[in-house]
Amino acid sequence: MSNLVNKIILYLERTPDFREEVKLKDDGLGEGMYIAEWNAKDKSKPTDSQLNALASEATKLKNNNTIRVTRENAYGKIGDQLDLLYKDMVAGKLDSTGEWFKKIKAVKDGNPKE
């Protein structure tokens, strides 16, 4: 996902429809993506300086989205998680000593958000 996409999401405070509301284009000239068409009704098209002011937040959003996907993959299937929880319930370990908790904590500790 382009950092421009994240800047637009932050600017609008929501995710727009990038097929209808905000159309991006890259001419392939090495200048990157730009806003080709702005049809969002709730806010006027942002200036470059408004978007540039969101650069650090956009990078943080991008990094946290990457971490979120990494965590989702590392957590494993929901059925496997439920099986671990069931086994922890049977063992009376619905606290930080349970296997489910240990696995989730290891994933979160190994992939911290900004």
pLDDT digits (tens, 9 = 90+) for 9-18: 999 999 999 9
Q: Above 60 in pLDDT, residue 1?
A: no
If one counts the domains in the chain, the total is 2
The answer to whether residue 71 sits within a structural domain is no
Residues 50 and 8 in one domain: yes
Token reading at 24? 């991006």
Q: Are residues 6 and 55 in the same domain?
A: yes
Q: At what angle do helices 55-75 and 99-110 cross, to 10 degrees?
A: 150
Evaluated on CA atoms 66, 68, 69, 73, the torsion sign reads positive
Residue type (1 letter), 46: P
Q: How far apart are CA 88 and CA 23, in angstroms?
A: 49
What phi and psi values does residue 59 have, to the nearest 5 degrees? -65, -40
Q: Whole-angstrom Cα distance, residue 43 to residue 92? A: 53
Residues 7 and 41 in one domain: yes
Residue 67 in domain: no
Residue 90 and residue 51 share a domain: no
pLDDT tens digits, one per residue of 57-106: 999 999 999 999 999 999 999 999 999 999 999 999 999 999 999 999 99
